[in-house]
């Protein structure tokens, strides 16, 4: 075996090792996106389970606010449907509606002193607020993971390996303009 053959064999081995490293990194990035989505899914499920308890507690006090309670129930259903189908664009829109409905519900609760002092309501309000904060954190982590994945499957030479093994870009979890606007607190109390 000549020197040229040894050099070519060495170059081929290095190229193969490099391609394997790219492939393994792409697999890791893809699984980070899946893990980030699973983290969001867990929190959405927890919130989904808590909201009926909140609505039931509020029903005991808010006899004349059935429209608000109904909006929370409908928004919860839309989020659940989008979550189960993993429809990321629909989830963003449904999340905006649910957060708006729950925010309106909490604002209306201010008009019911007995409800505000109810220990169950306070615990549920605190739990749901905590879940909302955790969901926001997980959304940020998901989008960061999706963005890293998307950059990797588009940049050279990773794009070659991604194309060969059918790695796909991940969808970002985006929100509508209404959710990005400032909250009109006065409107919540109407």
- Tell me, what CATH number does 40's domain have? 1.20.1440.20
Give the pLDDT band (50/70/90) at residue 183: very low
Average pLDDT value over all residues in the chain = 86
- Residues with Cβ within 8 Å of 169's Cβ and at least 6 positions away in sequence, in order, are 146, 149, 150, 153, 154
Angle at 172 between CA 129 and CA 174, to 5 degrees: 55
Q: What is the pLDDT of residue 154?
A: 95
Q: What is the pLDDT of residue 36?
A: 94
Phi, psi of 167 (to 5 degrees): -75, 135
Q: What is the pLDDT of residue 157?
A: 92
Q: What is the pLDDT of residue 189?
A: 41
Three-state SS across the chain?
A: CCHHHHHHHHHHHHHHHHHHHHHHHHHHHHHHHHHHHHHHHHHHHHHHHHHHHHHHHHHCCCCCCHHHHHHHHHHHHHHHHHHHHCCHHHHHHHHHHHHHHHHHHHHHHCCCHHHHHCHHHHHHHHHHHHHHHHHHHHHHHHHHHHHHHHHHHHCCCHHHHHHHCCCCCCCCCCCCHHHHCCCCHHHHCC
Q: What is the pLDDT of residue 144?
A: 96
Per-residue pLDDT of 71-122, as tens digits, reads 888 999 999 998 888 888 888 888 888 888 888 888 888 888 888 788 888 8
**What is the number of structural domains in the chain?**
1
With 70 as the cut, is the pLDDT of residue 187 above it? Answer: no
Higher pLDDT, 39 or 115: 39
Higher pLDDT, 59 or 185: 59
Q: Is the peptide bond before 157 cis (omega within 30 degrees of 0)?
A: yes
Per-residue pLDDT of 129-170, as tens digits, reads 899 899 989 999 999 999 999 999 999 999 999 999 999 999
Contact 72, 55 (CB under 8 A): yes
Q: What is the pLDDT of residue 185?
A: 44
Share of the chain above pLDDT 70, in %: 91
Contact 69, 55 (CB under 8 A): yes
Arithmetic mean of pLDDT, 46-51: 89
Distance CA 109, CA 187 (A): 14
- Residue 61: domain span: 3-188
Distance CA 143, CA 146 (A): 5
Give the pLDDT band (50/70/90) at residue 70: confident
């Amino acid at each position: 075996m000549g020197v040229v053959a040894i050099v070519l064999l060495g170059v081929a081995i290095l190229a193969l090792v490099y391609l394997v490293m790219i492939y393994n990194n792409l697999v890791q990035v893809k699984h980070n996106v899946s893990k980030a989505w699973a983290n969001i899914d867990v929190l959405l499920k927890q919130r989904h389970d808590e909201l009926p308890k909140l609505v039931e507690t509020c029903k005991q006090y808010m006899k004349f606010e059935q429209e608000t309670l109904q909006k929370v129930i409908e928004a919860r259903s839309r989020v659940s449907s989008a979550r189960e189908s993993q429809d990321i664009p629909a989830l963003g829109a449904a999340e905006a509606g649910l957060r708006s409905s729950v925010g309106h519900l909490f604002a209306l609760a201010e008009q019911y002193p007995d409800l505000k002092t109810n220990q169950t309501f306070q615990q549920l309000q605190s739990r749901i607020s905590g879940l909302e904060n955790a969901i926001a954190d997980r959304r940020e982590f998901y989008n960061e993971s999706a963005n890293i994945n998307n950059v990797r499957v588009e940049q050279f030479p990773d794009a070659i390996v991604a194309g060969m093994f059918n790695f796909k870009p991940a969808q970002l979890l985006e929100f509508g303009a209404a959710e990005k606007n400032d909250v009109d607190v006065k409107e919540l109390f109407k």
